[in-house]
Amino acid sequence: MSALIELRNIWVEYGDKIVLERVSLQLAEGSFVAVVGPSGAGKSTFLRLILGQEPPTRGQVLLGDMPMRAECGPDRGVVFQRYSVFPHLTTLRNVMFGIECGQAPFTARLFGAQRRAARDKAAEMLAAVGLEHSLDVYPAQMSGGMQQRLAIAQALVKHPRILLLDEPFGALDPGTRLDMHALITRLWQEHGLTILMVTHDIGEAFKLGTRVLAFDKRRHDPHAPHRFGATVTYDLSLDRKTLPPPALVEAVGDTDPRKEIA
């Protein structure tokens, strides 16, 4: 498979604080990359680099051989799934709003045939995430899992090539989480997506990912913790049955994920 995203010797610094250092990676089209690491290791910063929202202090991010532009966004096929539903809009209107913003950036309003097409597309996307019977429901009337489905439909309606997920299922109960795992796996396969997902749950990373990246600091200065940044300390390509090495479980500080995967 070809590299869709390439990072060449990336450094991210804020003043004298080094957050990421020496990150060099190639990510293949169609992969499901799970990103783990301790809090503050720069996982969200890494996603923002891929989104073009965070310019590296040094190094280069390439998307399909082209240097990343600032705020490259949906036109280059990169979509960040945020929990960003509007409480005053129904499920259907929430998803239509994304289409309207894309097609009519100044007014966010479509009319006539264009509006009907947007409605049909939004309804189709909501059916894909299992919300076909909840088109006229407001977010406050929905469970956490339904709200997360809505947020995923909002992202997918932009037809991303690359979908960025930052701890998407962290707030869900275990049963709903399992449903969401099945859903995101199906959508990843059906839509031919490349997914980068940050998670604190190493079991989830090893269950869903085709590749697991762990970010952590290789070097520590106890007198100046900001002096060294995190980098990729584990890079594991998986079939979906691979178990995490015990050292990685310990590094991320998670509970034993092996039971969940088995």
User: Taking CB under 6 A as the rule, does residue 233 contact ligand ATP?
Assistant: no
One of 5, 19, 23, 118 touching ligand ATP (CB under 6 A): 19
Q: Which is nearer to ligand ATP, 81 or 94 (CB)?
A: 81
Minimum CB distance to ligand ATP smaller for 36 or for 123 = 36
CA atoms of 143 and 115, how far apart (whole Å): 28
Residue 37 contacts ligand ATP per CB under 6 A: yes
Q: How far is the CB of 226 from ligand ATP (least distance, A)?
A: 8
45 binds ligand ATP (CB under 6 A): yes
Other residues' Cβ atoms within 10 Å of the Cβ of residue 240: 12
244 binds ligand ATP (CB under 6 A): no
Six token digits for residue 125: 């996307």
Using CB under 6 A as the binding rule, whether residue 211 contacts ligand ATP is answered as: no
What are the φ and ψ backbone dihedral angles of 67, each rounded to 5 degrees? -60, 140
Contact between 156 and 191 (Cβ < 8 Å): yes
Q: Could you say which of 23, 42, 206, 251 contacts ligand ATP (CB under 6 A)?
A: 42
Among 4, 7, 36, 43, binds ligand ATP (CB under 6 A): 43
Q: Is 256 helix (H, G, I), strand (E, B) or coil?
A: coil
Q: Where do we find the tokens 């584990």?
A: 234
- Secondary structure (3-state) at 111: coil
Selected from 26, 40, 70, 225, the binder of ligand ATP by CB under 6 A is 40
Residues binding ligand ATP: what is the number (CB under 6 A)?
Answer: 10
Angle at 227 between CA 232 and CA 57, to 5 degrees: 65
How many Cβ atoms sit within 10 Å of the Cβ of residue 225?
11
Q: Which residues bind ligand ATP (CB under 6 A)?
A: 14, 19, 37, 39-45
